[in-house]
């Protein structure tokens, strides 16, 4: 899958997630970098910010090649 398709698919998938699903994905993320957010922080930030965090880590950690 090319980079553009991967980005578009990831962005659409993340855009459909609820706040709880986003929080679960962020808190359960297994990979580098390690994510360490408190529930309090994740509860206080906007839904768009949650989506941004998850999309950034998914795109950053995408296997290359």
Q: What is the extent of the structural domain holding 23? A: 3-60
CB 4 within 8 A of CB 32: no
Confirm whether 20 is domain-assigned: yes
Confirm whether 14 is domain-assigned: yes
pLDDT tens digit string along 10-55? Answer: 999 999 999 999 999 999 998 888 889 999 999 999 999 999 999 9
pLDDT at 32: 82
CA distance 37 to 57: 13
Confirm whether 11 is domain-assigned: yes
Confirm whether 65 is domain-assigned: no
């Amino acid at each position: 899958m090319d980079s553009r398709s991967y980005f578009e698919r990831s962005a659409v998938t993340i855009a459909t997630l609820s706040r709880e699903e986003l929080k679960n994905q962020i808190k359960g993320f297994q990979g580098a970098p390690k994510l360490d957010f408190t529930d309090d922080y994740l509860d206080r930030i906007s839904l768009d910010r949650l989506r941004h965090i998850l999309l950034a880590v998914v795109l950053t950690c995408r296997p290359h090649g």
